[in-house]
Structure 1
């Protein structure tokens, strides 16, 4: 295992560093201390060509300017909270609203727009190396109660796995539902898009959305709908569908409920018929939100080419969005004395 560090630019006069982990097979995972953000994951294709299979920039400045959430740690709460308001311990909490009338991805600025402390651990003969990012989110940040200490650990293994481990504790009852917003494009070039990627999910139900992308509270059977990925199907399924949910969202931006009993199998996977790359994911979270960069507006470039819709696909493992308003959506409340822990693993190979 090897590790390295380089200057990646600066934000508000403060230097930003990118850290890279590399295993003996040449796979690399890179992340920066601004936003605890994944900047690149490099894996070989069927011909052994090593390429970045995520959307990312070659310096920090576009991340700070455009805030596209590429590879970002999202929090305190991933997704949207209706009106940014909820009841907690008989008190009304009002968060900042930053997407229409709703609170989105922790507010602005949120986890993705702050500096994190970093500790890198690499040992030449170890089967795993890691980057541990730490951030203290102060009481009332974007309206959230409590001083929240968060650690996000990224590990790279010799089995070509990228592990994410979240831990957190708070001194007041609050909400916590983090995710990572990495976008995969297994072709190694965002210009190719991801609509021909094949996706398979061990999921029997999905959560439909209102017009403002807040979940309705229903959980619907995927059968006979473009949300049925129990058998592998191309991601363009949703783009070509006339289903009202996919039409209004230009494709998928939906939570899929993950089946609980997978008997050690992956919760889901995507693969690319062109490069033969595959990513499988394993998580202890209840759901995965699948988003295809549907609303990319061509405001910026990667490697000299304008980023277009459907250039990448995010597999955001998390508890269901807006869970605080839906009793059937699981628990996102974290109390003093409790220790939050969650793990998601992305495993990379070839088909």
Structure 2
């Protein structure tokens, strides 16, 4: 599997979708150039230090920790210029270690395989591989000790218009049952009001790869309540229906006529309690949508009518998993000190389809020696209204 790495740009968004790339040089939050700063976030049980990097550019500030490559916070202004954190996360490293896996995976890099693999088993080139069952009866997000639990090696960099944080991880042959030594890289780049993630991976043995980021958003502000009044548009005419264990049945069904039709901007909570079987299975939205078109394109757009904040997501991936925070239950407390309850955040995970290693009709996730896995996602923040 191979792809193309895209130059860092600030994406101009028009009503029709992606406009031309803007070349305006962004500035730092205080009117200066973009900045990146480092501080100690904590230490894991084996003594490895975990660092937090603060990236600032334009009016946006992002905090990323080397444990799990986690995006801890994203601060961005509303239509009146008031800046608030819109990403769900924890205050401390101890909270991430104790509660993020198994759990919500707040802000984490997910690998080797994002989403579910049926019964934790797949066959590749005649060999059968067994993965940890951590979402009974399936394997979820790379297993019990996926990439979200690893301490990544960080390399910061800076240009006149952007700041970047490159994170590297080597996953040995047999890690969580996956074949091949996989060398993975995720590079976060903040430019203007856009946060970009470029993923890259190589292997020395045939394996399967599906990398993503698992950030949760609440465009009204983290910890302010449900996202049910926020609107979502997904550029997807089809989705992959699932069984009661959330494993796809292999079909690509149309969203038309179902509560999964977000081709026009619709409040997330407008139909979430409908008695549609797919919503019953997921306790809300927890489904992979087949993004229309190909190449690097607008996949999703969300907005909060109250604050005017807009999130536009661009990706070159065939799918996007929309999750409406159905399993948040009030037992976890975020960076604001407030409890997270059902529907208090939504995730949009750019990805290949769930269970692709067992679904021959889905786009392949196989990576072989000599090939390079690459994919890119952009989160572009803006405001609208007055």
TM-score category of the 2 structures, normalised to the smaller one:
over 0.9
State yes or no: 1:17 paired with 2:51: yes
1:116 to 129, 152, 169: 152
Residues 104-160 of structure 1 deviation map (CA, whole Å, 9 limit, x = unaligned): 10001110001100001124xx111100000000110010001000000000012x1
- Secondary structure of the residue aligned to 2:298 is coil
2:246 touches 2:281 (CA, 8 Å); kept in 1? no
State yes or no: 1:30 paired with 2:66: no
Counterpart residue number, 1:96: 132
State yes or no: 1:63 paired with 2:99: no
Residues 48-104 of structure 1 deviation map (CA, whole Å, 9 limit, x = unaligned): 111110001222111110012000000000011011111111111112221212111
Unaligned runs of 5+ residues in structure 2 are: 1-33
Counterpart residue number, 2:189: 155
Counterpart residue number, 2:200: 167
2:282 to 249, 254, 261: 249
Compute the displacement of 1:190 (Å): 2.2
| TM-score normalized by the length of structure 2 | 0.87
State yes or no: 1:192 paired with 2:225: yes
Compute the displacement of 1:9 (Å): 2.2
2:170 to 132, 136, 141: 136
State yes or no: 1:320 paired with 2:353: yes
Counterpart residue number, 1:278: 310
- Secondary structure of the residue aligned to 1:200 is strand
Distance verdict in 2 for CA 1:284–1:113, change over 3 Å: same
Find the aligned partners of 2:339 and 2:129 in 1 and give their Cα distance: 40
State yes or no: 1:182 paired with 2:233: no
2:245 touches 2:281 (CA, 8 Å); kept in 1? no
Aligned residue pairs total: 346
Unaligned runs of 5+ residues in structure 1 are: none
Counterpart residue number, 1:222: 255
Distance verdict in 2 for CA 1:106–1:191, change over 3 Å: same
1:234-245 maps to which residues of 2 (within 5 A)? 234-245=267-278
| TM-score normalized by the length of structure 1 | 0.96
State yes or no: 1:80 paired with 2:116: yes
- After superposing the two structures, state which structure 1 stretch, 51-60 or 172-181, moved more: 51-60
